[in-house]
């Protein structure tokens, strides 16, 4: 297998510097087998300009001879960039660290796993801690070196202590307008997880809907009726379905039953083989459909690191065999990445790559109102692309037309 740039490197230019310099100048990808993701287009040329996809057409020999700087994607699968709308951290970093360095570590780590866009996700904490995290996201988002930080996902604090999961119970509370108004005024919030049964949540939902903020039901003891009422008000998602919420019973459908039954609600799921039994993953996708199912990681700072002791929202987390738990045994997020979630879903459900892919690309983009620019390989869309090999391993990641990650063996084979 031979991947290469279609140009010669002048001997006088140091190889590595020239390589890095030219990564930013690619304006054509040739011999690309594209999953858009809704259709398969073999042997295509993708033309790039100003960080956007300018044209897509069948590849010809003329494309490969063109003096413009090209990337030869022969034997690679090219897809829309993966989108993770629920991730707390990775590589030892966490959103709540509230530093540009932490966000950059997350951004780079995610891009190494094919993610091109993500929502940095907070945990239940004090008003000031959440505000500090949000302002750091706002001020840092254009200065990161990997995946694009497209906004914030606030998970809590307006959730139910009965289903606290690994959220810190010290900070659970009802919505306070002065507090949430200051958060939303940062202009960075895309999604908020709430428990619809909490006092004062209806007014909060209305405020968010009026300001274009998406809402998700999570850490909730809501009845079936309360879930439907929340959806009537404009709630369109459920956070890590089945986890940290009232379960399904044949005489009381509960939170899970409401989410499964209401076609308006997108279901986020953690497909790591720990949070959900494979049969439940298959059941969710069968009931909700591909177009209403979103793969998430819910990763915490231990993702990408070895087993050990870590912090999550002021609570100690022990990671053993890649499974994160707090002291009472509750799961504390995951160490999952979306590329692995795709592979797991294929395995658990017997689904092919093309049918799993939308749940990590187009569907999350739709759920956070970014389907006009992300989630598809389409003319006019952002040039955010993920490159897989034929075993569905990540080989390269492109953000806005620039490569932000390439696997070592791919890099070595690119250069003449």
234-265 pLDDT, tens per residue? 999 999 999 999 999 999 999 999 999 999 99
**Where in the chain are all domains bearing CATH 3.20.20.140?**
82-367
pLDDT in the model for residue 69: 83
Look at 395 and 23; give whichever has higher pLDDT: 395
How far apart CA 117 and CA 397 sit, in angstroms, is: 11
Report whether pLDDT(378) > 80. yes
Look at 223 and 70; give whichever has higher pLDDT: 223
pLDDT in the model for residue 17: 40
Query: Are the C-beta atoms of residues 11 and 78 closer than 8 Å to each other?
Result: no
- Cα 216 off chain centre by: 15
pLDDT in the model for residue 248: 97
Residue 44 to residues 33, 81, 152, 368: CA-CA distances in angstroms? 6, 17, 35, 29
DSSP-derived letter for residue 243 is: T
Task: Express each pLDDT in 48-95 by its tens digit.
Answer: 999 999 999 999 877 766 656 889 999 999 999 999 999 999 999 999
Report whether pLDDT(416) > 70. no
CATH C-level class of 82-367: alpha beta
The catalytically annotated residue of 272, 298, 339, 382 is: 298
SS3 label, residue 255: helix
Q: How many CB atoms lie within 10 A of CB 249?
A: 11
Report whether pLDDT(130) > 60. yes
DSSP-derived letter for residue 266 is: E
CATH fold, domain 15-80+375-414, is Urease, subunit C; domain 1 (2.30.40)
Tell if the pTM clears 0.85, that is, is over it: yes
Report whether pLDDT(2) > 80. no
**Residue 213: how many CA atoms within 13 Å on its side-chain side?**
26
pLDDT in the model for residue 26: 81
**What's the full length of the chain, in residues?**
416
Nearby residues of 92 by Cβ (< 8 Å), 6 or more positions away: 105, 301, 302, 304, 305
298 is catalytic: yes
Q: How many CB atoms lie within 10 A of CB 159?
A: 28
pLDDT in the model for residue 193: 99
The mean predicted confidence, pLDDT, of the chain is: 92
Q: Mean pLDDT over residues 215-231, rounded? A: 99
């Amino acid at each position: 297998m031979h991947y290469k740039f279609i140009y010669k490197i002048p001997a006088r230019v140091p190889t590595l510097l020239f390589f890095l310099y030219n990564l930013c100048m690619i304006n054509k990808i040739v011999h690309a087998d594209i999953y858009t993701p809704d259709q398969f287009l073999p042997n295509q040329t993708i033309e790039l300009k100003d960080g956007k996809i300018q044209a897509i057409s069948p590849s010809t020999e003329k494309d490969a001879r063109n003096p413009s700087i090209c990337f030869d994607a022969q034997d690679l699968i090219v897809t829309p960039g993966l989108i993770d709308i629920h991730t707390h951290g990775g590589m030892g970093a966490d959103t709540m660290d509230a530093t540009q360095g932490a966000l950059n570590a997350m951004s780079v780590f995610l891009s190494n796993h094919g993610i091109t866009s993500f929502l940095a996700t907070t945990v239940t904490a004090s008003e000031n801690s959440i505000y500090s995290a949000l302002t750091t996201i706002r001020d840092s988002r254009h200065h990161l070196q990997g995946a694009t930080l497209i906004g914030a996902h606030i998970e809590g604090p307006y959730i139910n202590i009965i289903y606290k999961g690994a959220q810190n119970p010290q900070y659970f509370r009802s919505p306070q307008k002065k507090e949430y108004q200051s958060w939303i005024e940062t202009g960075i919030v895309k999604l908020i997880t709430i428990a619809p049964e909490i006092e004062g949540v209806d007014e909060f939902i209305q405020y968010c809907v009026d300001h274009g903020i998406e809402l998700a039901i999570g850490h909730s003891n809501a009845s079936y009726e309360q879930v439907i009422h929340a959806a009537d008000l404009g709630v369109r998602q459920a956070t890590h379905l089945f986890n940290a919420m009232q379960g399904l019973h044949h005489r009381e459908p509960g939170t899970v039953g409401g989410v499964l039954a209401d076609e308006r609600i997108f279901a986020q799921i953690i497909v790591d083989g720990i949070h959900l039994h494979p049969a439940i993953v298959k059941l969710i996708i069968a009931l909700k459909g591909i177009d209403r199912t979103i793969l998430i990681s819910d990763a915490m700072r231990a993702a990408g690191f070895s087993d050990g002791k870590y912090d999550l929202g002021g609570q100690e987390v022990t990671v053993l065999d890649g499974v994160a738990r707090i002291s009472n045994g509750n799961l504390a997020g995951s160490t999952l990445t979306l590329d692995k979630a795709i592979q797991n879903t294929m395995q658990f459900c017997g689904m092919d790559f093309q049918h799993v892919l939308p749940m990590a690309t187009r569907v999350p983009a739709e759920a956070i109102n970014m389907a006009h620019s992300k989630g598809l390989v389409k003319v006019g869309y952002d040039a955010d692309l993920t490159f897989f090999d034929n075993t569905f391993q990540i080989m390269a990641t492109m953000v806005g037309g620039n490569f932000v990650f390439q696997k070592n063996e791919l890099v070595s084979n690119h250069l003449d």
